[in-house]
Amino acid sequence: MNRSNGKMSFDVPPFAAAALARAHSLWARQFVRVGVFSLLGLFAILTIALVLVFRHYAKDVPSIDWALNYRPPIVSQVWSADGQLIGEFYDERRVVVPYEKIPHKLAQAFIASEDSDFFDHPGFSWTGILRAAVKSYVLRHRLKQGGSTLTQQTAKAILASVEGFDQARARTFKRKIRELILARRLEANLPKEKILELYLNQVFLGHHSYGVQAAAENYFRKNVWELTLPEMALIAGLPQAPSHYSPFAHPESARARRSYVLGRMRSDGMISKAEHDMANAAPIAVFPVEEIQRDTAPYVTEQVRRDIVNRYGNERLLRDGLSIEATVDVEREKDASAATLRGILDADKRQGYFGPLDHLDRSAWDEFRKKETPILPKDVLEDAVYAALVTDVDAKGMVAHIAVGPFSGTLPIANARWARTPNPELWAEGGRYAIASLKGVLTPGDAILVRPISPKRDGARDGYVFALEQDPHLQGAMISIDPQSGYIVAMIGGYDFEKSEFNRAIQACRQPGSAFKPIIYSAAIEEKNFSASTILVDSPIVTDDEQSGKRWKPSNYEEEFQGDVPVRKALAHSMNIPAIKTLQQVGVHDAAAWAHKLGISTKLNEDLSMALGSSCVTLWDLTGVYAAFNRGGTRVHPTYIRRVLDRDGRVLENHTSVDDMSVPFTERVAAGYAKLFDAPERVMTPQTAFLTTQLMQEVCTYGTGARAQALHKPVAGKTGTTNDLFDAWFVGFTHDLVTGAWVGYDTYDAPMDKYETGGHTALPIWLDYMERALKGRTQAPFEAPEKIVWVDIDGDTGLRATPATRTPVKEAYLVGNEPPDLTTPGQASTAVDAQEGMTRGGL
C-alpha cells in the first residue's frame, strides 16, 4: 500500500497485471465469438422463417403465365362500312401496343417518375420497402405508403387479373409478400423491356384509359408514337393519382405533376435543359373523351351491341377485343338523321304548341339564368336550341323579350306563328290557323326553347332575334337497305337517342296502313292472275265479324266511291274497298301466309281489315319486303353486321356480299363461293315482283306518292296512313336503295293533325334523305324479266287503248294476261265484284 499526497493506492504485482490482461482478452474473444454465433443463428432463424413464410404464401401465388401469354381485357370496336370508328365496348379501355411502338422517352418518363432504379433492382427496392414501412408503421401505424417498383406493379396486375381488383389491392402483408414473390418470378423469367411493355399496357391512367395507347387516344386523340414530350410527361405523371392529376378536372395539378416528371427526367439526364424548358412551358391541351357510339350512329351501334351480346355474351364483348365491321355508311347515316330530324320538327310544329317547359315565379328568374350560364358559349350564341326565359310580352302580343343566360333579345310573332293550341281535327298546313298574338301563348316567367336566327358580332350579348322551338312529341324512324347486298346503310330509331334508346326501326310494331297493300296485290298477281287492268268494283261493303259479332263498314280515305276501277288506279290512289275485295279473292289465310313468306314476322289479323294494314308490322320487316320486290322476287335478309373478327384477326362470322365492291377481291370470291351453298330464297316469281313494282311506280307518278317524282330517278313505293292518323309511312326504292320512313307518336293518346298522311309527312323525310344519298348517282330503270309485254292502255279504264284514247299509257303484263284487243272479234274481258259475286267481265 502506498500513501502519497494524502491518498492511498494499491500496487498490482506484475504477475497479477498479466493475468488480468489475459483474462480480459479471453473474455473479449469469447464475447465476440458468442456475438457472431448469435448473429449467425439469428440470421439463420430469420432466413428459415423468411423461407417458410415465402413457401407458405407461394403455394397459391398465381402463375406468371399471364405475363408470358399476355392477353388482357381490351376494347371491342365497331367500324362503319367506310372505315370510321362508330362504337366501343369495354370493361377496361385498353389497346395493346408492342414495346417497339412505344416512344423511348415515354418509357423514360415513367421510369423517372415511378422507378428510377428499374433497370438495376431485382424486382423490388429494399430502400423503398423500408421507407414505406417506416412511414406507414412508425409514423402512421398502418400500411399506406407505396414503395412498389414497376415490376411489383406489374405483379399486382397479375393478381388483379386472376383474383380480382379488391384482392389485389388489399393492404395486407400477405398481399405484399405474394406481390414480391411474383415480382421476383417476373424478373427471373422476363427481360426488363418485356416487363416494361406489360406495365405500360396495363397501367390505369384515368378516364377509362388502361395503358398508354388508350391514354394517348383519350387525352390527345393521337397514337402513342405521335406524342410530344410534354404530352408524354403528362401521361407519365398520372399513375400515382389519376383523378387528382386529371388534366380535365384539375389542370393545375396536372401541370405541377408534369413539371415534376420533367424535372426528374432532367436530373437523370434523360432530356436536355432546352427540352425541359420547352416542355415545361407548353400549355395543357387535352380533348374531351369522345362518346363515339352516341355521336355517330347510336341506334346502329346499340343494335350491334344487343346482337353481339345475344350471340357471344356480354363478357366477350367487353373483354375480348372483338372487331365488328358494320354495314352502315356514316355519310348516309348523317343524311338520314338530318332528314328525319327536319321532318319530325316540321310535322311536330304543324301539331301546335304544347306549352312551356316550366313556369317560374319572378323570384326564381335570376337563379334560372345563372343555372344556364355555365353551359352556354362564352361570347356568341350559336345556331342551336337553348333554354330561355320569357321576361316580357308587349301589350299587342307582337314581340316577346327573351333571356338566355346573360344573353337577351326578342322573339317576334313572325317566328312563332305555328304555336297554335293543338287540335288534331285541324289542318295547319300552309299557315292555316296561325296565331295572331303571343298573348296567351307566352307569359313572363315561361321557360321555353328558342333558336337564335340573327347573326351577331363577337362579344354582343343583347339584340338577338329568336325563333320559338319545342321538344318534339312526334317520333320517327328510317331504315335504308342496299337491296343487292342486304346491307343496312342507314338506320334511325328515333328523334333523339339520348332521350330514348328504343329503336323504332326494329322494335316498334305499328300499323302500316296502305303501305301493306302491295303485299295483298302481289299475292293476287301471283296466285289469282291479277293484272294492272283487273277491274275491281269500288262500292260500299259491309261485313260481319263472326267472333265479335260486330258489323264493319269500311270506306275509302276520301269517303267516296268510284265504281269500276282497274288495279293500277286502285293502288295508285290507295283505295280501300278494292284492296278489301282483292283480299277476298286471295283469302285471308293465304294472304297472311304470303306476307310471312315475303318477310313479315309479326302476327297478322286474319280478317278483311288486313288489307288496310290493321296488323302491326315493324319498319324492318316491311322495308325488307319492298327490297324483295326490288330484287326480282328473292327475299333479302337485311344485316347491319358484315364481319366479326376476334382479337387475333380470325373471322368469327362473315356476311360479306359478293356485290360489295368496297372489300378486297378475295373476300368477294369467298362470299361468292359461300353463296353457292346459300342461294337466295325465291318468294315470288320475277314477273310478280316486276308487275308489283310497276304498279308502285305509278303510285309515285300520279298517285299518293307523286311527290317522289322530285327525285328525278325511277322510283317505286307506297304511302301508308292509318285511319286514326297515328302512323304515317312511306316505303320506296330506286334500283340501288330501298328506304322506309315512319312518323308517329309513341303512345296512342291523341292522333296527329288532320291530313298528316304518309305522302304528306313521311314521304318528305324519305325524299330529303334519298336526294342526298343518291346525289350524283344515276339510277337504272327497273328491268323487266322475260314473259313481260308492254301494252298501250287507257289508264282510267285499264282497257287496251284505241285510236280514240286521248292519252294512252304503257302498262306491263304477263304474256297472255294483257287486256284483250276489243277491236278483234271474239275477245272480251271480264271483271269480278268479289263482294257481290256478280260477273262483270271476268279476269
Catalytic residue IDs: 114, 514
Strands (E) in 502-611, as ranges, are 535-538, 543-544, 551-552, 563-566
For residues 374 and 730, give the distance between their C-alpha atoms in angstroms, rounded to a whole number: 43
Q: Which of 376, 380, 386 has the alpha carbon at shortest distance from 470?
A: 386
- Residues ≥6 apart with Cβ < 8 Å to 46: none
Q: Is residue 504 within 8 Å of 475, Cβ to Cβ?
A: yes
**Upper half-sphere CA count for residue 169 (Cβ side, 13 Å):** 3
- Map residue 290 onto helix, strand or coil: coil
For residues 409 and 402, give the distance between their C-alpha atoms in angstroms, rounded to a whole number: 5
Burial group, residue 785, by CB count within 10 angstroms (0-12, 13-18, 19+): middle
Q: What are phi and psi of 26, to 5 degrees?
A: -65, -40
For residues 541 and 609, give the distance between their C-alpha atoms in angstroms, rounded to a whole number: 12
Query: How far are the Cα atoms of 474, 491, 492, 494 from residue 739, in angstroms, in the given order?
Result: 20, 10, 11, 15
Phi-psi region at 123: left, alpha or beta (left = phi > 0; alpha = psi -120 to 50):
left
Q: Which of 133, 490, 152 has the alpha carbon at shortest distance from 297?
A: 490
* 3-class SS letters over 154-221: HHHHHHHHHHCHHHHCCCCHHHHHHHHHHHHHHHHHCCHHHHHHHHHHHCECCCCEECHHHHHHHHHC
> To the nearest 5 percent, what fractions of the chain are helix, strand and coil?
40, 15, 40
Beta strands at 93-94 and 209-210: parallel, antiparallel or unpaired: parallel
Strands (E) in 498-558, as ranges, are 535-538, 543-544, 551-552
For residues 233 and 249, give the distance between their C-alpha atoms in angstroms, rounded to a whole number: 18
Cell 304498279, residue?
A: 695
Strands (E) in 358-440, as ranges, are 358-359, 386-393, 399-404, 407-412
For residues 149 and 79, give the distance between their C-alpha atoms in angstroms, rounded to a whole number: 38
Query: How far are the Cα atoms of 13, 16, 20, 570, 801 from residue 9, in angstroms, in the given order?
Result: 13, 16, 18, 146, 160
For residues 525 and 126, give the distance between their C-alpha atoms in angstroms, rounded to a whole number: 89
For residues 698 and 24, give the distance between their C-alpha atoms in angstroms, rounded to a whole number: 127
- Map residue 788 onto helix, strand or coil: strand
For residues 699 and 702, give the distance between their C-alpha atoms in angstroms, rounded to a whole number: 6
For the chain, the C-alpha Rg in angstroms (whole number) is 40
- Map residue 745 onto helix, strand or coil: coil
For residues 727 and 740, give the distance between their C-alpha atoms in angstroms, rounded to a whole number: 13
- Residues ≥6 apart with Cβ < 8 Å to 682: 633, 634, 635
For residues 54 and 217, give the distance between their C-alpha atoms in angstroms, rounded to a whole number: 41
